[in-house]
Chains A and B, each alone.
Chain A
Amino acid sequence: MADTHIVGAKKTYSLPELNQWISEQEMQLGPIVNIADGDDCTAGEFNILGALPTSKFARVALKVGAACVLDDDLELITEGQAYLSGVLMDVCLARPK
């Protein structure tokens, strides 16, 4: 049974900062499974029963129109929304294979 924990990231983080934030939370909480806009922040949902990633941390990529544009070595976790430097944007959440 999934057991998740949701924490918030500052909405003012840039894309590289948000990706760093995700990797830091994954080191401690477990793999991220969802990203969405929380109350005035970006909400990350982490599976606290999953193995703690030590590499291949999940990354956020900007969504282009309706499409997730990902390199071949990335696999999509989910699509969601995140604040990037204060702007709520459609994003893709992906992890290196």
Chain B
Amino acid sequence: MRQARTLVVMLGLLATAGCTSLRGSAEPVIPVRDRVNYVATYPEDTVYKTFFALKDNCSSGERPPVCRDGLTRVQYRNMITALYMSSADARYEEFRTRLSQEAKGTAFGGNIAILLMNGISVVSGNEARRALAAGSAVVAGGQASVSKDLFIDKALSAVLASMDGARAEAKTRIVEKLRLSAEQYSLPEAIADVRRVEEQARLDQAIQKLTSTAVADAEEKQKKLDVAYMVELQGPLATRKGALLRDIGALDAAKIDEVIKALDDPQLDASITALGASPDKDAKVGRIRVWVHQNILAEAKFDETVAKLAPLTGKESY
């Protein structure tokens, strides 16, 4: 039977389609347009009526899709489901290929990068939206710590893999249900499930899934560090402190002791004492760095310290 052969071919497509590689994939045996157009000859309202029809055979003058042409309801349901799934797969393969071809080096690619980095906003609310907005700005501004193309290359593979996985799961559930009787799993239910497979081919959902995984991983790997104190952004003061500390670091061991004496601070003295009997110069410089970092938080205090150390550094200002 012609329809029985179609059923075998389409069930084969149902089992294998949707996992083609990102690049260099072979041309499909049946072009995408043909697979989609073929489904158009089996419109939904007609196939539902045919599925629920009592008789298996066509009456005189009738032709599929208005009759089942000898197929049982289960066979007919499975054939139509396979046809719709093949059409969905064809569309998905086309979408997937276009994504990989157009993603790099184009505005479209940039938009994908921004979409990917904004993806967390889909799941995590306002704070996440702000976080990823910052990340997007970095990509959009071209000052990223990540290369946009490299990002797309890696991220897109992950997103496509996520979509492939979601589709494969949804398709597996359909294949399992196709073993059920026509009463237990009707054609409208099967078509609705095919729609769910189609819904998996959405970038935002794939990104959401990836983000959820990343968040779960992060929670698993969470490691807390014992933070001594919080430090806010300091602007130019940080640069000036850095210059002073570089000059201090260049002094010899005897001068370092003089620096400690000139600073005359009990907290610094205690941290030097804690180093032991005869700490080396580098260890003392390290403690001076920490003291300066922690205790000099305003311009006035910095200028005062610079003045104290001027005889040792030879500089009146930084």
Give the B-binding residues of A (Cβ under 8 A): 3, 5-10, 13-17, 19-21, 24-25, 27-30, 34, 36-39, 41, 43, 45, 48-49, 52, 54, 59-67, 69-71, 74, 81, 84-90, 94
Q: Which residues of B contact A59 (CB under 8 A)?
A: 145
Which residues in chain B, 146-202, are within 8 Å of chain A measured between CB atoms? 146-147, 150-151, 154-155, 158
Q: In the complex, A16 Cα to B51 Cα: how many Å?
A: 60
Give the A-binding residues of B (Cβ under 8 A): 116-117, 120, 124, 127-128, 130-135, 137-138, 144-147, 150-151, 154-155, 158, 210, 213-214, 217-218, 221-234, 238-239, 241-242, 245-246, 249, 282-283, 286-287, 289-290, 292-293
Q: Which residues of A contact B116 (CB under 8 A)?
A: 64
Is A85 a contact partner of B231 (Cβ separation < 8 A)? no
Is A85 a contact partner of B283 (Cβ separation < 8 A)? no
Cross-chain contact of A70 among B134, B146, B210, B224 (Cβ < 8 A): B146
How far, in Å, is A86 (CB) from chain B's closest CB? 4
Q: In the complex, A81 Cα to B251 Cα: how many Å?
A: 37
Is B138 a contact partner of A9 (Cβ separation < 8 A)? no
Is A21 a contact partner of B233 (Cβ separation < 8 A)? yes
Is B246 a contact partner of A54 (Cβ separation < 8 A)? yes
Q: Which residues of A contact B135 (CB under 8 A)?
A: 15, 62, 84
Other than the given A49-B283, A69-B155, A87-B124, 16 more pairs (CB < 8 A) read A9-B230, A15-B134, A15-B135, A20-B233, A21-B233, A28-B289, A37-B222, A52-B249, A62-B117, A65-B154, A70-B150, A71-B146, A74-B145, A86-B128, A90-B214, A90-B218
Q: Which residues of B contact A90 (CB under 8 A)?
A: 214, 217-218, 221
Is A27 a contact partner of B238 (Cβ separation < 8 A)? yes
Is A8 a contact partner of B151 (Cβ separation < 8 A)? no
Contacts A62-B117, A81-B222, A87-B128: A71 and B145 contacting too (C-beta < 8 A)?
yes
Q: Which 6 A-B pairs have the closest CB atoms?
A: A27-B242, A14-B134, A48-B286, A24-B238, A85-B131, A43-B225
How far, in Å, is A52 (CB) from chain B's closest CB? 5
- In the complex, residue of chain B having the shortest beta-carbon distance to the beta carbon of A80: B223
Is B242 a contact partner of A85 (Cβ separation < 8 A)? no
Q: In the complex, A13 Cα to B238 Cα: how many Å?
A: 17
How far, in Å, is B214 (CB) from chain A's closest CB? 6
Q: Which residues of B contact A34 (CB under 8 A)?
A: 225
Q: Which residues of B contact A10 (CB under 8 A)?
A: 230, 232
Cross-chain contact of A7 among B147, B230, B239 (Cβ < 8 A): B230
Q: In the complex, A15 Cα to B282 Cα: how many Å?
A: 32
Is B150 a contact partner of A69 (Cβ separation < 8 A)? yes
Contacts A24-B233, A90-B217, A90-B218: A16 and B138 contacting too (C-beta < 8 A)?
yes
- In the complex, residue of chain B having the shortest beta-carbon distance to the beta carbon of A93: B145
Cross-chain contact of A69 among B154, B221, B249 (Cβ < 8 A): B154
Q: Which residues of A contact B228 (CB under 8 A)?
A: 5-8
Contacts A10-B232, A71-B146: A5 and B227 contacting too (C-beta < 8 A)?
no
Q: Which residues of B contact A6 (CB under 8 A)?
A: 225-228
- In the complex, residue of chain A having the shortest beta-carbon distance to the beta carbon of B136: A15
Q: Which residues of B contact A37 (CB under 8 A)?
A: 222-225
Is B234 a contact partner of A29 (Cβ separation < 8 A)? no
Q: In the complex, A41 Cα to B137 Cα: how many Å?
A: 23
How far, in Å, is B161 (CB) from chain A's closest CB? 9
- In the complex, residue of chain A having the shortest beta-carbon distance to the beta carbon of B243: A27
Q: Which residues of B contact A69 (CB under 8 A)?
A: 146-147, 150-151, 154-155
